[in-house]
């Protein structure tokens, strides 16, 4: 599954339907 970085409020359902795995960049950078 392809990963895509999200920083805006993109509907997760749309990304999942497109075959992407949503990755919240904000959470990644904080941790």
Domain with 8, as residue range(s), is 1-31
pTM confidence score: 0.30
User: Count of domains in the chain?
Assistant: 1
Name the DSSP class of 8.
Answer: S
1-31 confidence digits (pLDDT tens): 566 666 566 676 776 777 666 666 666 665 5
Residue 29, pLDDT score = 61
Residue 18, pLDDT score = 72
For residue 16, how many other CB atoms are within 10 A of its CB? 12
Name the one residue in this structure whose structure tokens are 């805006």: 8
């Amino acid at each position: 599954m392809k990963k895509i970085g999200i920083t805006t409020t993109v509907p997760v359902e749309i990304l999942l339907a497109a075959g992407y795995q949503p990755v919240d960049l904000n959470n990644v950078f904080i941790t």
